[in-house]
Amino acid sequence: MKIPDFKLERYFAKHEFTSKYLLSSSDCDGYELKYVLECASKSEMELWEGMKLGYTESEGNPLLRDAIAQFYNNKSIENVVVASPGELNFIAMNVLLDSTDHVVTVSPCYQSLSEVVKTIGCEISYWKPKPENWEFNTDDLEKLIKKNTKLIIINFPHNPTGSYLKVSQLNEIVRIAEKHDLYIFSDEMYHKLMIGDMQELPPICDVYKKGISLWGTSKTFGLAGLRIGWLVSQDLKFLHSVVSYKDYLSICNSAPSEILSIIALNHFDKFLLPNIQKIKSNIRLFDDFYKKHKQINGFIPPKAGSTAFVKLNIENSSLDFSNKMVEEAGIMTVPAEMFEYVGKYIRIGFGRKNFSEALVEFDVYLNKL
C-alpha cells in the first residue's frame, strides 16, 4: 500500500531539530525523565526499577490500561487498547473502512485524518469551519452525509484552529451518527487542554456506542517522546480487530514508555496544570504581539488546545513566508499548505516556554520586512 508523504511531518523533519525557535509546535515542552520519576509513588518507583525490557502485552500493560480507564465512564480495561497515536489512527481506519465507503472528516486537519482514508480508496467529504471564527456548524455536517457514509471523523480541541464545540453540538453530531448508523472517530489528542471558559466535552466513547476516542501522552501531558496513545470504545469487536492488526506494526509497546505513562496518568495535574498555565500566558503574549504587526491579519485565540491558525497579510504564499523566515531567522512556523488549506495562514503553537524569546525574534524579523 502506497501513501503520499505526510507533508506536515516532513516539514517538521526538515526544520524541527535545526531551527532555533519553534513557533508552531502543537505539543507542549517535553518533561524531563527526572521530573516524571520525582512524581512517582513508592510502588510506581518499584515498578520502574523492576521493569523487564522484553516484549509487552499487545493491548498494553493492564496497569496502564487501568490508569487510562479511570478517565472514562466505562472504567474497564477491556475497553482500552494502547499503541502510538498515529498507529492507532492508521489501524482504526483500516479496520473500519472499505474502499466503497464514504467518510466525512473535519478540514483543515492533521493530515493522517484524511490521507489514510483516501489511501484506502474511500470517498471523502470535508466538514469545514467558518474562517471568520473557526466555528463548525452541525447543519453543514448533516448535509455531507450520503447513503454509503460509514464514518465521521472529528477532532476537538481542533488542530490547527483551536476550535471547540459546545456540548449541544457534540450531542447533535451523535444524533446524526445514530440516525445514519455511523461510527464516530474522535481524535481527542488535545483533550483536557481547557484554556477558555467553554464546558469540557465528554469523550465520544462515553456518549455513543459506535464512538471511538483517541487520546495520548503527546499533547496534554507534554510527553510526546513516549509515543503512547490509546483508543477507548464500547465496541469490543472493533478493539479486538485493532489488536490483531497491530501484530503487523509495532506488535507491542515499549515497556519504559508504558510505565512512565502510568506515572503521568496517576499524577495527572502535575503534567496538565503547568501546560495550561504556559499556553494561557503565551496566548496573552501573542494577543499583544499581533496588534503591532500589519503582516498579521487578526487573531482568533484558541477556545481549547494548544494551537491557533493565524491569517497573514502578505504578498507571497504562506509557504514562501515560512520557508524564508526559517532560513533567514531560524524561526519555524507551519504554513497553511501543510494542512492543504487554501489561504495565507500559519499555525502558532503556544506550548513552549521559550515562546516569549521566539516572539522577540519574530518581532525583529517582521519589522525588517
**Interface residue with ligand PLP, options 149, 159, 213, 261 (CB under 6 A):** 159
* Cβ-based neighbour number of residue 146 at 10 Å: 13
Residue with smaller CB distance to ligand PLP, 225 or 297: 225
List the one residue out of 275, 271, 268 whose CA is nearest residue 70: 268
Alpha-carbon span 194 to 225, nearest angstrom: 22
Which residues on adjacent β-strands are paired with residue 261? none
Residue 184: its H or E element: strand 183-187
Q: Which residues in 239-278 contact ligand PLP (CB under 6 A)?
A: none
**Interface residue with ligand PLP, options 19, 24, 26, 163 (CB under 6 A):** 26
User: Of the ranges 15-23, 46-54, 81-89, 135-143, which one interacts with ligand PLP (CB under 6 A)?
Assistant: 81-89
- For residues 196 to 235, the per-residue mask of contacts with ligand PLP, x marking binding by CB under 6 A and - elsewhere, is --------------------x-x-----x-----------
Q: Determine if 155 is a binding residue for ligand PLP (CB under 6 A).
A: yes
CB of 128 to ligand PLP, least distance (A): 16
- For residues 162 to 191, the per-residue mask of contacts with ligand PLP, x marking binding by CB under 6 A and - elsewhere, is -------------------------x-x--
**Interface residue with ligand PLP, options 85, 162, 203, 222 (CB under 6 A):** 85
Q: Is 257 left (phi over 0), alpha (psi -120 to 50) or beta?
A: alpha
Q: Are 204 and 233 in contact (CB under 8 A)?
A: no
- For residues 91 to 110, the per-residue mask of contacts with ligand PLP, x marking binding by CB under 6 A and - elsewhere, is -------------------x
* Cβ-based neighbour number of residue 273 at 10 Å: 10
User: What cell does 140 get?
Assistant: 453543514
Q: Determine if 63 is a binding residue for ligand PLP (CB under 6 A).
A: no
User: What cell does 362 get?
Assistant: 519574530
Alpha-carbon span 347 to 70, nearest angstrom: 33
| Contacts with ligand PLP, residue ranges (CB under 6 A) | 26, 84-86, 110, 155, 159, 187, 189, 216, 218, 224
